[in-house]
Amino acid sequence: MIENPFKKQIEDLRVGTISEIIVDPKDFPAFREVWKNLPDRMSIVGEAGLNGRIIYRHMKEENE
């Protein structure tokens, strides 16, 4: 079974190795598959970009 490439990208985003993930519309189902199972998924916030792209960033909570 092939591992979802967004699994590592989301983990890198959560720990601060990368600052954002750009998801194209065709890749959204794969991204969502990983994102929906995260306990802190509400801290991964998407912003609409051009041509249906979504830019996801990790927003740290006030108490972190």
- Predicted TM-score (pTM) of the model is 0.85
pLDDT mean for each 10 residues of the chain (64 residues): 88 95 96 94 94 93 56
pLDDT score at 3? 85
Helix (H, G, I), strand (E, B) or coil at 22: strand
Reference 58, options 14, 27, 3; nearest CA is 14
pLDDT score at 33? 95
pLDDT score at 32? 96
pLDDT score at 27? 95
